[in-house]
Structure 1
Amino acid sequence: MTVSSGPELAVGDTAGHTGSFSPAHDPRALAELIVDLQSAGLRLETEIERRRGGAGPSDSGMLWVEGTAVTVPTETDAARTSPYVLRAEDEGYGIYRDGERLASASGAERPRFYDMTTSDGIPYWKIALMHLDSLASTVVQTCAYWGKSDQCTFCGIGVSLDSGRTIVKKTPAQLAEVAVAAKTLDGAVDATLTTGSSLGVDRGARYVARCGNAIKEASGLPVEVQFEPPLDLDVINEVGDLGIDSVGIHVESFDPKVLGEVAPAKARTGIEHYFRAWERAVSVFGEGQVSSYVILGMGEDPDLTIEGCRRAIDIGVYPFVVPIRPVAGSLMEDVTPPSRQYTERIYRRVAAYMTARGLKATGVAAGCARCQACSAVNAIQNLMQIGPRPGGGS
């Protein structure tokens, strides 16, 4: 399956890696490399800690590239033919292209808490996973839309469950227990909780917030919870009353036509209801503590995407812009990720508006926008503030 990325948008003289600038010494080259890796993927000549299948940053390697957290596709068709390759070195790894070493990398070790089990014999790794330095869990691994015509085509929530890598429903007590271990043994700095959607008026928000509250009470970690916009927006206030730090309410695409094709139930909810939910959430959690995934490469109109991001930024919502990450077993598993030229141009326009509005990842307490490993928008925003390269270019 091939999905058009929309009209190509040229990026001028930032379109390729420039040999005279190394990611090890120049943040511009590092940002360019990260954008390219997240589109092209990475071939592996060595073993690293990876996240395989299902929801989350699936089929990806988890790395720090020159000290920057990055999740990079490693299991997709694009990754298997990527011009970039990861090789083991005496200390850590190196990222190479055409025989040239571009950057150093270090991998995440297998978390120590993965070797622990609950009193009833459930491995901790079936309850929550480490995504670099963040603890993450899908607290209810079923969705009212899964297996129906309403199923989000990019989603893999049922894949993890079918493979036996998780359990159907995690309890607040289980999550609290695992969070304490993840913080103590493996240095987790926050927790990110999501859930499959329910058909109730809260769409599952109340339960995921209860789980987040249990983690906060037990471990002290800042917590983000993610849920669909509740039909009753007062539910968002209830989530805030449980001490949650940040929320993710993910529209996925600002292009109504694309949203109707890839997420029919979300399209019926309507983009305007997302804005109403975001406005309420910002009033509860504050500017920058509310975020939305915005996925690139599903055939969206770039202008609609950028305008939607600008409107969200104006009310204090952080648009977490990412290239599509095809999930094996999902309805979009064969989609080709968008080119770097396409994603970088959108990153730049969104990042410029975020900077003008004063919205930055450094202010986010928890969650995907805090971590940034699956997006390059923060790296692009940072390099734009550095200014042009010596001798011209950007």
Structure 2
Amino acid sequence: MTAVDESRSTGTGAASEAVAALIMELQAVGLRIETELETSRKGGAGPSDSGMLWIEGVPVTVPPSSESPYSLRAEDDGQGIYRDGTKIASVSGTARPRFYDLTTADGIPYHQIALLHLDSLASTVVQACNYWGNSDQCGFCGIGLSLAAGTTIAKKTPEMLAEVATAARDLDGAVDATLTTGSSVAPDRGALYVARCGHAVKQAAGLPVEVQFEPPRDLDTINQVHDLGIDALGIHIESFDPAVLARVAPGKHRTGIDTYFRTWEHAVKLFGEGRVSTYVILGMGEDPDLTVAMCKRAIDIGVYPFVVPLRPVAGSLMENIPAPARDYTEPIYRKVAGFLAERGLGADTAVAGCARCQACSSLNLIQHAGTAPPCSSTTTGTPAPLLQIGKRPGA
């Protein structure tokens, strides 16, 4: 009997708490891989440098680590997570997606066009960003790494993505699609191209689609994206702490936090509450009280703040920054989960995208466990240590 099995005997809330606790630990300290792990990813703009697992039926991404006290081991009927020789939880669903073995008519492997993140198809449709390789490069991002490694192509077309999405749905059970793009200098910031790609996926495969882009200069761009039938938007600020944003994402800092809120408010009116989300990364030196307060402000206008721990990406400017400890992330999760519960927002309202998948966070597990009471205070403890990222290219 695993630790999670024992928790189940006391009720589903206790089981959810046990799984949430384990996932928070794994995302902080990593997982030793002592068996084959088919689904993993390096580089890119999504859950990079991570193993993708189903732990007790919950989708999870975790960083591999040779120093973790937790290990992934093969078993007769699957895999398990162990600590000190004791099985902690069961693991399933790590087989290589079947559509990865297909190619387009002109010879492009499907896995260079899109990847399966557990049950969500994902692609960076333009594998370039005007912030990459200069003083504006975001410290946490690895968008240029996979292109340099030859594991993807520079630009995916709507036709390519429609073809791959259909195969991913039929062969591997993909349930939605998440399409993102590097930032563009164009007034729409790349939103219209990624939305056209999303429209093609919906037309061909019928999957719910989230598209992700930075705030466009003209809010009418959001209207045009909505008119293409897109289901959800990800407009990612990364940090609500302006000092941290200026240090780790200078381009986003220049856009301005107020601009993000104006864009979100307009988007929520079109797409509905819970269908507009933003990444909030923990562990970059942010003020936790400010972070929680701004998450509440976002929730109050119907935006889902997808709170995740920093995932250090090898080759990025923050590759040597450790992931934040569970002691730091858990109080923030609990407070934000309480606000989400009050507002009636959750993974189910997100429909598609990162907030629907939840594999990179424990936020939804905490909320589902029913142990995140409404919070009248935003006090979470001491701020994360101030972090220094690597020297920027060209500096």
TM-score, length basis structure 2: 0.90
Shift of 1:385: 4.8
- Which residue of 1 is the match for residue 332 of structure 2? 346
Higher relative contact order (CA 8 A, sep 6+): 1
Q: Are 2:23 and 1:27 equivalent residues in the alignment? A: no
Question: C-alpha separation between the residues in 2 aligned to 1:359 and 1:251?
Answer: 19
- Which residue of 2 is the match for residue 208 of structure 1? 194
Amino acid at match of 1:258: V
Match for residue 45 of structure 1 among 34, 38, 42:
34
The SS at the match of 2:370 is helix
The SS at the match of 1:231 is coil
Question: C-alpha separation between the residues in 2 aligned to 1:160 and 1:263?
Answer: 20
Structure 2 matches for 1:83-232, cutoff 5 A?
Answer: 83-232=69-218
- Which residue of 2 is the match for residue 61 of structure 1? 51
After superposition, the CA RMSD in angstroms is: 1.5
Shift of 1:86: 0.7
- Which residue of 2 is the match for residue 15 of structure 1? none
Structure 2 matches for 1:303-382, cutoff 5 A?
Answer: 303-382=289-368
Question: C-alpha separation between the residues in 2 aligned to 1:342 and 1:107?
Answer: 30
Question: C-alpha separation between the residues in 1 aligned to 2:296 and 2:263?
Answer: 16
Amino acid at match of 1:205: A
Task: Write out per-residue CA displacement over residues 77-106 of structure 1, whole angstroms, 9 at most, x where no aligned residue.
Answer: xx2211111111111111111222111111
The SS at the match of 1:384 is coil
Question: C-alpha separation between the residues in 2 aligned to 1:62 and 1:222?
Answer: 21
The 8 Å contact of residues 49 and 63 in structure 2, kept in 1 or not, is answered as yes
The 8 Å contact of residues 203 and 227 in structure 1, kept in 2 or not, is answered as yes
Amino acid at match of 1:200: A
Shift of 1:24: 5.8
Amino acid at match of 2:76: D
The 8 Å contact of residues 86 and 94 in structure 1, kept in 2 or not, is answered as yes
The SS at the match of 1:54 is coil
Question: C-alpha separation between the residues in 1 aligned to 2:222 and 2:3?
Answer: 50
The SS at the match of 1:335 is coil
Amino acid at match of 1:267: H
Shift of 1:22: 3.9
- Which residue of 2 is the match for residue 12 of structure 1? none
The SS at the match of 1:251 is coil
- Which residue of 2 is the match for residue 3 of structure 1? none
Per mean C-alpha deviation after superposition, the further-off stretch among 20-29 and 114-123 is 20-29
Task: Write out per-residue CA displacement over residues 212-262 of structure 1, whole angstroms, 9 at most, x where no aligned residue.
Answer: 000000110000000001011110010000000000000000000000000
Question: C-alpha separation between the residues in 2 aligned to 1:132 and 1:359?
Answer: 23
Q: Are 2:232 and 1:246 equivalent residues in the alignment? A: yes
Shift of 1:386: 9.0
Q: Are 2:267 and 1:267 equivalent residues in the alignment? A: no
Shift of 1:34: 1.0
The 8 Å contact of residues 179 and 215 in structure 1, kept in 2 or not, is answered as yes
- Which residue of 2 is the match for residue 293 of structure 1? 279
| Structure 2 stretches lacking a partner, 5+ long | 10-14, 374-395
The SS at the match of 2:178 is strand
Task: Write out per-residue CA displacement over residues 255-301 of structure 1, whole angstroms, 9 at most, x where no aligned residue.
Answer: 00000000000000000000000001101100000000000000000
Amino acid at match of 1:367: G
Q: What percent of counterpart residues are identical?
A: 68
Shift of 1:53: 2.3
Task: Write out per-residue CA displacement over residues 336-386 of structure 1, whole angstroms, 9 at most, x where no aligned residue.
Answer: 010001001100010011111111111221000111111100001111359
Aligned pair count reads 366
The 8 Å contact of residues 246 and 290 in structure 1, kept in 2 or not, is answered as yes
Question: C-alpha separation between the residues in 1 aligned to 2:66 and 2:239?
Answer: 27
Per mean C-alpha deviation after superposition, the further-off stretch among 253-262 and 91-100 is 91-100
Amino acid at match of 1:69: P
Amino acid at match of 2:259: H
The SS at the match of 1:213 is helix
Question: C-alpha separation between the residues in 2 aligned to 1:58 and 1:52?
Answer: 5
The 8 Å contact of residues 334 and 372 in structure 2, kept in 1 or not, is answered as no
- Which residue of 2 is the match for residue 392 of structure 1? none
Q: Runs in 1 of length 4+ with deviation above 4 angstroms? A: 18-21
The SS at the match of 2:369 is helix
